[in-house]
C-alpha cells in the first residue's frame, strides 16, 4: 500500500530537523553548564575579558593568549620554578572583598584590581595555594621568591565572577574565605558555584565562620555588636552570657563552618579568617578576656588564622614560624593603585645583608609613631602635635639576627633618640638610646622596659652630625658612637633572637623631638 | 532559469535563525522551570507542556508533505461544490462565479447552491450566478448550477446534507458562501482521494478581509498558523480534527455512511446545530478514515470585523470544540501515540489555562508582591514565535498583529472556554 507521506520525505527532512534539534540541545546544554555564569553576568565583567585579550595580544608571552581564551590549560608553575631559583623568605597575604564597578569607598574597582594583578604578574609575583602557604609557615616547604597569597573574604558572587577570568589569564589562584551560612543568599556564591570554583583548581575555600558575621544584641539597650568578640545579651533572662557560654558559642560556630567545608570538599581546612578582622580587639563588652579566649578557641580548631594588618602595625609579610597562629593580611584599600600596591609589597619584602638604605619611598621604612618624611636624601623623623616622640622600623629586616646597624644622624630637637634592633613589634625589641646625658642599652619585652646597662656622662648629640650604631650578636648588644663601642649589654632575652632595625625619638615635651637620618647601613656579623 | 542565490531565501534563513533563537530562549526558560519545579509542580508542568505542545506543532508540521504518485496525477474524480447559504446576497454571486472558474474539467464538476430561508436577495443572486455560469460555453462542456431554495431556514447541517443527497459526484467540496476559492484549489484538494482511506481534505483558508482593521489583521495571522502549523501537524497522522466548512473536500460515499448519525447528533440531550464541520469530520475519524490538509488548496474567507461578531464566533467555536473534543477523546487513543498524546494535551491544556493565568497574573503578584514579568516575558516570546512563523512564510508585515493576538488570546479569549462549557446545552446558533 502506498503511503500518503512516503518514508523518503522523512528521510529527506530528517537531517535538517536533527541538526536543528542538535543545535538547540547543545545550546541548552551549554546554557546549563554555564547558567551560574549567565545569570550572574554583569556588564562590567566584560572588562575582565577585554583586557585579557588585549593583554594577551600585546604581550610577548603568548601563553597568556591561550589561557585567556581558555584554549590551553598551561601550567606555568613548572616553568617558573626552572629559572634560577630564589626562595621566598617571607610571604604576604593580600585581602580583598568584592570587586566592583561603582566606587563604594571600601571595595576595589575592577579596573584597579585588574591593574594590580597585571602589575604584580609583570613584577614577577606569583600566587600560592593555601596548602603551600601553610607548609611554608610551618617551615616545611620553600616557596619561590615573590610568592603571595591572594585572598578574598565573604564568598560574594562579585569576588568570583569578575576575578576568575583574570586569575585564569595570569595563571593565578586565590583563597576564598566563605561564610558558610550564606550560600543560599543571592549576593553570595551558591554551593554549586563553590563546587565549580573548587573544581577549577584555581580556588581554595577556607573558613570565614558560620553565623559570625551577624550582629547581635550585647546589652539591655539592644545595642548590637560583633558575634565573635562580644558576650551576647539573653533578652528573656536579662543577662549577658557567661564566659563559658561565650566560649561554647564561638567554638561551635568555628567548628561548624570547618566541618561543613571539610565534609563537602574532603580537604582539611587549615585556616580561619576573623570576621571584620576582629579577633577581639574591637570587643565592646568583654574587653578583658576576649582576645586570649578567641585565640584559644580558634587555635583548638584551626592550625592558623588570618587577621588584618595595616601599615604601621609591624611587618606586613608572614615569616615561617611553626608556632605562629596569627597570620597577617594586607587589606588592600579602595584608593590603592597598582603602583601603590607594588610599593607596599616592595616595602615589606625581605632585605638582604649587607644593607644600605637608598632613602626611597619604597625602601620599607615604616612609621609607627609620630612623623616621618623623606626628602633631600635624608630622613626626618620626629614628634608631631600630639606625640612626645616618633618611631619607625625597616620592614623586611625581620630575619636579621647578628648584625651591626650604623646610621649617620643629627638630633635637631629633643632629648633622646634610639637605634632599635631585633624589633619584632612595638612591644618587643632592643635599643641603644642616646642622649646628652647617657647611653643606654634597653630591651622591651611584651612592652616592659628594662635597662640592661647604662653609661652616664656628657655626650653631645644635639645639632651634631654623629655616626651611631647598634650591634647585636647572640645575646650581646653593643652601642656604637663614631665607630667605637661605647656601651655593651649582655643577656638579651632569648625571645629577641632576631628582628628589624629602626629608630625612635623622644622628649618629655610634646612635639619637641626630631632626628635627621643621613645614612643607614647594616652589616652581618658572621 | 533558477537563480543560484535568492534574496528572499537568504532573508528567510535569517528569519529562521531569529525564530530558533526565540525558541532557544523559550527552551532555556523551560529548563529553568524544570530545575525549579519544586516551586509549584502544576504550574511548572503546565508551562512546560504548553510550550512543548506549541513547539511540537511547528516541528510536526515541518514533516507534513503529502505526496501523490506521479502515475496517479491523471486521477480526476467528479466533484460537487456545495454552497449552503443564508443571507449572503452580498457575496454569493462572486462565490459561485469563482467556483465556476475552477481549473478542472468542466464536465467533471457541478455546483449546488442552497438558499436556506434567506431574508435578502440571496436567491436572486444565486439565480443570476447560475445564469452567468450556465451561459458560458467552455471547451470541455458546461457547468451546471443547481439552486435549491428553502423558504424556511433549516440550518447549515441540513443544507450540507441536502447537497450531499443532491450530488451524484465522487467528492463534495463545501465552500462557505462568503469564501472564494483559488482556481487550483479543487485539484489540490481532490488529488488525495486517490488514497482509499482518505475521507476528507481541508483546504488552507486565508483571510479575505485581512486589511480591514486591527481585528481582521490579527485573525489573518491566526488563521495562517492554525492551518499551516496546527492542521498540518494533525494531518501528519491523517487526523485533522476539523475539515472546516469554508473550504474542505469530503468523499461522498463515506459521508453517506455517517449521514444519519450526523444529522441526528444529540449532545447532552440537545440536537446539535452548530460545529457541523467539526462534527462531520469527527464521525469520519471515528470510522477510522483519514482526514488530511492541503497546503496548496487555497481559499479566502471573510472573518468577523467587529469585536462583537468575533467574540460570538469564537464562543460558538469553543462550544463545538468542547463537544467534539470530548467525543473525539473516546476514540483518539486508538490513533498514532504521538497524535493521541498531542490530542489529549490539546484538550487538557486549554481547560487548565484559566487556572494558570489566574495564578500567574493575579495570585502570584498578590501573594509575592512581584509583577509577573517572567510569565509575561514567556508569553511574549511564544507570541513572537507565532508572529515570526507567519512572517517567514508570508514576509507580510502583519505578523506583529499575530504577536498581539497570541497575547490577546491568552489573556482574554481563554475565559470563553469555561463559559462555553457552562452553555453547552444552549443550542442557539449565535448569529454570525
Tell me whether residue B23 is in a domain: yes
Q: Which domain holds residue A470?
A: 355-524
Nearest CA-CA distance, residue A207 and chain B, Å: 29
Based on the fold, state whether residues A129 and A264 are members of the same structural domain.
Answer: yes
Q: Could you report the per-residue pLDDT of B97-137, keeping only the tens digit for each? A: 989 888 898 888 999 999 998 898 989 999 999 988 888 77
Q: Tell me, what's the pLDDT at A79?
A: 47
pLDDT confidence band for A432 (50 / 70 / 90): very high
Cell of B353: 489555562
Q: Mean pLDDT of all residues in chain A?
A: 87
Other C-beta atoms closer than 10 Å to the C-beta of B147 total: 16
Q: Which domain holds residue B394?
A: 7-64+336-422
Q: Could you report the per-residue pLDDT of A306-356, keeping only the tens digit for each? A: 998 866 677 889 999 898 899 999 999 999 999 999 988 988 888 888 888
Nearest CA-CA distance, residue B190 and chain A, Å: 13
Put simply, the answer to whether B31 touches A20 (Cβ < 8 Å) is no
Put simply, the answer to whether A5 touches B27 (Cβ < 8 Å) is no
Tell me whether residue B262 is in a domain: no
Other C-beta atoms closer than 10 Å to the C-beta of B154 total: 16
Tell me whether residue B304 is in a domain: no
Cα–Cα distances in angstroms (integers) from residue B68 to residues B71, B188, B197, in the given order = 8, 11, 14
Share of chain A above pLDDT 90, in %: 45
ipTM of this predicted structure:
0.81
Put simply, the answer to whether B27 touches A27 (Cβ < 8 Å) is yes
Based on the fold, state whether residues A324 and A465 are members of the same structural domain.
Answer: no
For A54-63, A487-496, B255-264, which range has the lowest pLDDT when averaged over its residues?
A54-63
Put simply, the answer to whether B65 touches A5 (Cβ < 8 Å) is yes
Put simply, the answer to whether A23 touches B20 (Cβ < 8 Å) is yes
Based on the fold, state whether residues A290 and A182 are members of the same structural domain.
Answer: yes
The pTM assigned to this predicted structure is 0.72
Residue of B19, B28, B196, B239 to mutate, testing the A interface (most A Cβ within 10 Å of its Cβ): B28
Tell me whether residue A71 is in a domain: no
Put simply, the answer to whether B64 touches A23 (Cβ < 8 Å) is no
End-to-end CA distance of chain A: 106
- Measured between CB atoms, does B24 come within 8 Å of chain A? yes
Based on the fold, state whether residues A331 and A390 are members of the same structural domain.
Answer: no
Q: Tell me, what's the pLDDT at B427?
A: 60
| B28: nearest CB among A6, A20, A28 | A28
pLDDT confidence band for A55 (50 / 70 / 90): low
Residue B194: DSSP 8-state = G
Based on the fold, state whether residues A137 and A265 are members of the same structural domain.
Answer: yes
Cβ neighbourhood burial of A163 (10 Å; 0-12, 13-18, 19+): buried
Q: Tell me, what's the pLDDT at A56?
A: 67
- Measured between CB atoms, does A33 come within 8 Å of chain B? no
Put simply, the answer to whether B64 touches A10 (Cβ < 8 Å) is no
Nearest CA-CA distance, residue A370 and chain B, Å: 57
Tell me whether residue B415 is in a domain: yes
Based on the fold, state whether residues A285 and A161 are members of the same structural domain.
Answer: yes
pLDDT tops 80 at residue B211: yes
Domain final residue, candidates A297, A314, A348: A348
Based on the fold, state whether residues A108 and A229 are members of the same structural domain.
Answer: yes
Total tally of structural domains belonging to chain A: 3
> Pick the residue with more confidence: A72 or A400?
A400
Tell me whether residue B312 is in a domain: no
Residue A87: DSSP 8-state = B
Residue A103: DSSP 8-state = -
Q: Could you report the per-residue pLDDT of A10-22, keeping only the tens digit for each? A: 898 899 999 999 9
- Measured between CB atoms, does A31 come within 8 Å of chain B? yes
Tell me whether residue A51 is in a domain: no
Tell me whether residue A400 is in a domain: yes
CATH of the domain at A499: 2.60.120.560
User: In chain A, positions 457-496, which contact chain B (CB-CB < 8 Å)?
Assistant: none
Q: Which of these, B345, B340, B319, B314, lies nearest to B267 by C-alpha position? A: B319
Nearest CA-CA distance, residue A326 and chain B, Å: 44
Please give the radius of gyration of chain B, using alpha carbons only, rounded to the nearest integer. 22
Q: Tell me, what's the pLDDT at A71?
A: 44
Residue of A1, A2, A4 to mutate, testing the B interface (most B Cβ within 10 Å of its Cβ): A4
Q: A17 to chain B: which residues are within 8 Å by CB?
A: 59, 62-63
Most confident segment among A96-100, A229-233, B420-424:
A96-100
Q: Tell me, what's the pLDDT at B430?
A: 45
pLDDT tops 60 at residue A60: no
Put simply, the answer to whether A5 touches B195 (Cβ < 8 Å) is no
Tell me whether residue A477 is in a domain: yes
Task: Give the span between the Cα atoms of A134 and B135, in whole angstroms.
Answer: 107
Q: Which of these, B361, B341, B343, B342, lies nearest to B353 by C-alpha position? A: B361
Task: Give the span between the Cα atoms of A280 and B297, in whole angstroms.
Answer: 86
- Measured between CB atoms, does A10 come within 8 Å of chain B? yes
Cell of B17: 535563525
Based on the fold, state whether residues A328 and A361 are members of the same structural domain.
Answer: no
Nearest CA-CA distance, residue A266 and chain B, Å: 27
Put simply, the answer to whether B63 touches A6 (Cβ < 8 Å) is no
Q: How many helices (H) and strands (E) does chain A have?
A: 12, 29
CATH of the domain at A126: 3.20.20.370
User: What average pLDDT score do residues B8-28 get?
Assistant: 88
- Measured between CB atoms, does A24 come within 8 Å of chain B? yes
Based on the fold, state whether residues A425 and A445 are members of the same structural domain.
Answer: yes
Tell me whether residue A82 is in a domain: no
pLDDT confidence band for A73 (50 / 70 / 90): very low
- Measured between CB atoms, does A22 come within 8 Å of chain B? no
| A13: nearest CB among B28, B63, B290 | B63
pLDDT tops 50 at residue A136: yes
Contact call for residues B113 and B130 (beta carbons, < 8 A) = yes
Q: Could you report the per-residue pLDDT of B152-188, keeping only the tens digit for each? A: 988 889 999 999 999 999 999 999 888 899 999 999 9
Q: Name the closest residue on chain B to residue A12, using Cα atoms.
A: B63
Q: Tell me, what's the pLDDT at A74?
A: 44
Instruction: Give the A:B interface size as CB pairs under 8 Å.
Output: 44
Domain final residue, candidates A319, A348, A377: A348
Based on the fold, state whether residues A255 and A195 are members of the same structural domain.
Answer: yes
Total tally of structural domains belonging to chain B: 1
Q: Name the closest residue on chain A to residue B192, using Cα atoms.
A: A4
Query: Backbone dihedral region of A414: left (phi > 0), alpha (psi from -120 to 50 degrees) or beta?
Result: left
Q: Tell me, what's the pLDDT at A311?
A: 64
HSE, CB side, 13 Å, CA atoms: give it for residue B63. Answer: 21
Tell me whether residue B18 is in a domain: yes
Based on the fold, state whether residues A452 and A492 are members of the same structural domain.
Answer: yes
What DSSP letter does each residue of B336-400 carry, written as one string?
-HHHHHHHHHHHHHHHHHHHHHHIIIIIHHHHH----HHHHHHHHHHHHHHHHHHHHHH--TTHH
Share of chain B above pLDDT 90, in %: 47
Put simply, the answer to whether A28 touches B65 (Cβ < 8 Å) is no
Please give the radius of gyration of chain A, using alpha carbons only, rounded to the nearest integer. 29
> Pick the residue with more confidence: B74 or A423?
A423
pLDDT tops 60 at residue A64: no
Tell me whether residue A60 is in a domain: no
Q: Tell me, what's the pLDDT at A300?
A: 93
> Pick the residue with more confidence: A362 or B56?
B56
Based on the fold, state whether residues A268 and A360 are members of the same structural domain.
Answer: no
Residue of A2, A3, A5 to mutate, testing the B interface (most B Cβ within 10 Å of its Cβ): A5
Cβ neighbourhood burial of B336 (10 Å; 0-12, 13-18, 19+): middle
Tell me whether residue B30 is in a domain: yes
Amino acid at each position: 500500500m502506498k503511503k500518503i507521506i512516503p518514508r523518503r520525505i522523512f528521510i529527506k527532512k530528517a537531517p535538517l530537523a536533527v541538526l536543528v534539534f542538535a543545535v538547540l540541545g547543545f545550546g541548552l546544554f551549554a546554557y546549563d553548564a554555564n547558567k551560574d555564569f549567565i545569570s550572574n553576568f554583569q556588564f562590567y565583567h566584560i572588562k575582565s575579558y577585554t583586557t585579557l585579550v588585549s593583554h594577551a595580544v600585546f604581550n610577548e608571552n603568548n601563553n597568556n593568549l591561550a589561557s585567556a581564551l581558555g584554549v590551553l590549560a598551561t601550567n606555568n608553575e613548572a616553568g617558573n620554578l626552572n629559572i634560577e631559583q630564589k626562595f621566598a623568605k617571607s610571604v604576604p597575604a593580600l585581602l580583598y572583598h568584592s570587586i566592583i564597578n561603582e566606587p563604594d569607598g571600601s571595595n576595589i574597582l575592577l579596573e584597579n584590581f585588574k591593574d594590580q594583578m597585571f602589575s604584580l604578574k609583570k613584577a614577577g609575583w606569583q600566587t600560592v595555594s593555601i596548602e603551600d602557604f601553610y607548609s611554608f609557615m610551618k617551615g616545611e616547604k620553600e616557596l619561590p621568591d615573590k610568592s603571595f597569597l591572594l585572598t578574598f573574604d565573604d564568598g560574594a558572587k562579585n569576588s568570583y565572577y569578575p576575578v576568575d577570568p583574570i586569575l585564569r589569564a595570569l595563571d593565578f589562584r586565590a583563597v576564598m574565605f566563605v561564610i558558610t551560612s550564606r550560600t543560599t543568599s543571592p549576593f553570595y556564591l551558591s554551593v554549586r558555584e563553590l563546587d565549580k570554583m573548587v573544581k577549577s583548581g584555581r580556588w581554595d575555600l577556607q573558613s570565614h565562620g558560620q553565623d559570625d558575621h551577624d550582629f547581635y544584641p550585647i546589652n539591655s539597650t539592644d545595642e548590637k555588636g560583633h558575634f565573635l568578640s562580644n558576650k551576647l545579651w539573653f533578652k528573656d533572662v536579662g543577662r549577658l552570657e557567661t564566659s563559658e557560654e561565650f566560649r561554647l558559642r564561638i567554638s561551635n560556630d568555628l567548628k561548624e563552618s570547618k566541618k561543613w567545608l571539610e565534609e563537602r570538599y574532603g580537604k582539611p581546612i587549615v585556616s580561619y579568617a576573623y570576621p571584620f578582622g576582629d579577633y577581639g580587639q574591637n570587643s565592646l563588652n568583654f574587653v578583658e578576656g576576649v582576645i586570649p579566649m578567641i585565640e584559644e578557641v580558634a587555635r583548638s580548631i584551626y592550625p592558623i588564622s588570618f587577621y588584618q594588618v595595616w601599615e604601621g602595625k609591624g611587618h606586613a609579610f608572614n615569616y615561617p614560624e611553626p608556632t605562629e597562629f596569627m597570620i597577617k593580611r594586607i587589606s588592600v584599600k579602595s584608593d590603592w593603585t597598582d603602583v601603590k600596591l607594588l610599593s607596599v609589597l616592595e616595602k615589606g619584602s625581605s632585605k638582604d645583608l649587607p644593607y644600605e638604605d637608598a632613602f626611597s619611598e619604597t625602601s620599607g621604612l615604616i612609621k609607627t609613631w609620630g612623623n616621618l618624611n623623606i626628602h633631600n636624601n635624608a630622613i626626618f623623623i620626629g614628634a608631631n602635635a600630639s606625640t612626645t616622640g616618633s618611631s619607625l622600623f625597616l620592614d623586611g629586616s625581620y630575619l636579621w639576627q647578628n648584625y651591626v646597624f650604623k646610621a649617620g644622624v643629627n638630633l635637631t630637637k629633643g632629648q633622646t633618640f634610639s637605634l632599635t634592633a631585633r624589633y619584632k613589634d612595638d612591644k618587643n625589641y632592643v635599643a641603644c638610646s642616646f642622649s646628652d646625658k647617657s647611653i643606654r642599652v634597653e630591651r622591651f619585652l611584651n612592652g616592659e622596659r628594662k635597662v640592661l646597662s647604662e653609661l652616664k656622662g656628657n655626650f653631645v648629640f644635639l645639632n651634631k652630625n654623629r655616626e651611631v650604631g647598634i650591634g647585636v650578636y647572640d645575646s650581646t648588644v653593643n652601642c656604637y658612637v663614631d665607630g667605637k663601642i661605647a656601651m655593651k649589654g649582655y643577656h638579651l632575652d632569648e625571645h629577641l633572637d632576631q628582628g628589624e632595625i629602626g629608630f625612635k625619638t623622644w622628649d618629655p615635651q610634646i612635639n619637641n623631638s626630631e632626628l635627621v637620618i643621613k645614612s643607614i647601613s647594616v652589616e652581618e656579623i658572621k | 532559469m533558477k537563480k543560484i542565490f535568492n534574496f528572499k531565501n537568504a532573508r528567510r534563513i535569517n528569519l529562521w535563525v531569529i525564530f530558533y533563537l526565540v525558541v532557544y530562549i523559550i527552551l532555556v526558560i523551560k529548563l529553568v522551570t524544570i530545575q525549579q519545579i519544586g516551586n509549584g509542580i502544576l504550574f511548572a508542568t503546565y508551562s512546560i507542556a504548553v510550550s512543548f505542545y506549541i513547539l511540537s506543532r511547528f516541528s510536526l508540521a515541518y514533516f507534513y508533505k503529502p505526496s501523490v504518485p506521479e502515475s496517479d496525477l491523471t486521477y480526476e474524480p467528479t466533484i460537487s461544490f456545495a454552497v449552503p447559504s443564508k443571507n449572503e446576497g452580498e457575496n454569493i454571486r462572486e462565490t459561485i462565479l469563482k467556483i465556476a472558474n475552477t481549473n478542472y474539467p468542466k464536465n467533471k464538476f457541478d455546483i449546488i447552491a442552497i438558499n436556506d430561508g434567506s431574508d435578502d436577495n440571496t436567491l436572486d443572486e444565486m439565480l443570476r450566478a447560475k445564469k452567468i455560469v450556465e451561459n458560458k460555453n467552455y471547451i470541455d462542456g458546461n457547468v451546471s448550477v443547481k439552486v435549491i431554495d428553502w423558504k424556511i431556514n433549516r440550518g447549515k447541517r441540513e443544507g450540507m446534507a441536502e447537497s450531499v443527497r443532491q450530488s451524484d459526484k465522487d467528492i463534495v467540496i463545501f465552500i462557505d458562501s462568503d469564501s472564494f476559492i483559488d482556481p487550483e484549489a479543487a485539484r489540490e484538494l481532490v488529488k488525495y482521494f486517490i488514497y482509499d482511506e482518505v475521507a476528507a481534505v481541508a483546504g488552507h483558508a486565508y483571510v479575505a478581509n485581512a486589511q480591514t482593521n486591527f481585528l481582521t489583521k490579527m485573525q489573518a495571522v491566526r488563521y495562517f498558523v492554525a492551518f499551516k502549523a496546527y492542521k498540518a501537524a494533525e494531518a501528519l497522522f491523517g487526523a485533522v480534527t476539523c475539515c472546516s466548512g469554508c473550504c474542505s473536500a469530503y468523499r461522498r460515499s463515506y459521508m453517506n455512511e455517517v449521514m444519519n448519525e450526523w444529522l441526528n447528533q444529540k449532545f447532552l440531550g440537545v440536537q446539535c446545530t452548530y460545529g457541523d464541520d467539526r462534527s462531520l469530520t469527527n464521525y469520519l475519524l471515528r470510522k477510522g478514515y483519514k482526514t488530511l490538509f492541503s497546503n496548496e488548496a487555497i481559499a479566502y474567507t471573510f472573518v468577523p470585523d467587529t469585536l462583537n461578531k468575533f467574540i460570538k464566533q469564537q464562543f460558538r467555536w469553543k462550544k463545538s470544540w468542547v463537544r467534539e473534543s470530548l467525543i473525539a477523546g473516546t476514540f483518539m487513543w486508538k490513533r498514532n501515540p504521538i497524535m493521541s498524546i498531542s490530542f489529549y494535551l490539546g484538550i487538557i491544556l486549554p481547560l487548565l489555562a484559566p487556572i494558570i493565568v489566574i495564578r500567574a497574573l493575579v495570585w502570584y503578584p498578590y501573594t509575592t508582591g512581584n509583577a509577573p514579568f517572567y510569565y509575561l516575558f514567556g508569553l511574549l516570546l511564544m507570541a513572537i514565535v507565532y508572529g515570526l512563523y507567519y512572517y517567514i512564510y508570508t514576509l507580510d508585515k502583519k505578523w506583529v498583529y499575530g504577536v498581539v493576538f497570541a497575547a490577546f488570546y491568552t489573556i482574554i479569549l481563554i475565559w470563553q472556554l469555561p463559559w462555553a462549557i457552562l452553555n453547552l446545552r444552549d443550542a442557539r446558533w449565535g448569529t454570525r
